[in-house]
Amino acid sequence: MDDLLKELEQLTEKITGSLMELTYEELESFVAERQKLVEAIGREVENVHPTAAHKETLRRILEQDPAIVARMNGFRLEAQDWLHKRNQAKTQRSAYESAYTPDSILMDRRK
């Protein structure tokens, strides 16, 4: 369990050190790796009762969560903004695209 906690702590410190320079792919990879470690720690907790040192390490790791979640929300807002702009452009473009048949004839009537 000590090795798993140490690995999780190192992974978390590595990510939080360069959080603002991360791409969303790197953050996604971090989350996947972190999930594996958390699941392994969860299996270990069933067999071994965590000590005070283990709990302190977990507390330090969890203190980094708000910064990580904030960065994830930043990516979410960027994606949401991009989708919104894309939909606006699509709406504007469709207004200019004609739904008429190319062989149609427009006839005016004189009064």
In a domain, 98, yes or no: no
The pLDDT, as a whole number, for residue 73 is: 94
State the total domains in the chain: 1
Q: Closest Cα to residue 25, out of 75, 86, 83?
A: 75
Instruction: Domain of residue 56: give its range.
Output: 2-91
Average pLDDT on 85-109 reads: 73
Rounded CA-CA distance 108/92 in Å is 29
Q: What is the pLDDT of residues 35-91, one digit of tens each?
A: 999 999 888 888 888 889 988 999 999 999 999 999 999 999 999 999 999 988 888
Task: Tell the residue number behind the tokens 């469709």, with chain if given.
Answer: 94
In a domain, 104, yes or no: no
The pLDDT, as a whole number, for residue 84 is: 93
In a domain, 42, yes or no: yes
The pLDDT, as a whole number, for residue 71 is: 93
In a domain, 105, yes or no: no
Query: What pTM, to 2 d.p., does this model score?
Result: 0.70
In a domain, 25, yes or no: yes
